[in-house]
Homo-oligomer: A and B are copies of this chain.
Amino acid sequence: MFALKGFKGATTQAIADLAGLPKANVHYYFKTKKDLYNAVLEDIVVVWKDDAEAFDTSPNPTIALTEYIKSKMHHSFTRPFGSKVWANEILHGAPVLGDEKLGAFLSAWEKRKTLQIKRWIDEGDILPVDPHHLLFLIWATTQHYADFEHQIKVLNGNKSLSRAQQIRATESVIAIILRGIGLEPTN
Interface digits, A152-171 against B, CB 8 Å rule (1 contact, 0 not)?
10110010000000001100
CB of A145 to closest CB in B, whole Å: 8
Most interface-central of A93, A107, A139 (chain B CB within 10 A)? A93
Closest to A146 in B: B91
Interface extent on A, as a size class? Answer: 35 or more
Residues of B within 8 A of A115 (CB): none
Contact A92 B179 (CB under 8 A): no
Partner of A137, one of B8, B136, B173, B178: B173
Closest to A10 in B: B8
- Asked if A144 lies at the interface with its beta carbon under 8 angstroms from chain B, I say yes
Contact B147 A87 (CB under 8 A): yes
Given contacts A87-B147, A91-B87, A147-B87, contact A133 B172 (CB under 8 A): yes
Contact segment of A24-32, A52-60, A124-132: A124-132
Contact B94 A176 (CB under 8 A): no
Interface digits, A1-33 against B, CB 8 Å rule (1 contact, 0 not)?
001111111000000000000000000000000
Contact A152 B136 (CB under 8 A): yes
20 further A-B contacts with Cβ under 8 Å, apart from A9-B9, A87-B87, A141-B141, are A4-B92, A84-B91, A91-B91, A94-B150, A94-B154, A102-B154, A106-B151, A110-B155, A130-B172, A133-B169, A133-B172, A134-B176, A137-B137, A137-B141, A139-B144, A139-B148, A140-B143, A140-B144, A140-B148, A179-B181
A-B pairs, top 6 by smallest CB distance, nearest first, are A140-B144, A180-B180, A176-B180, A133-B172, A8-B8, A8-B9
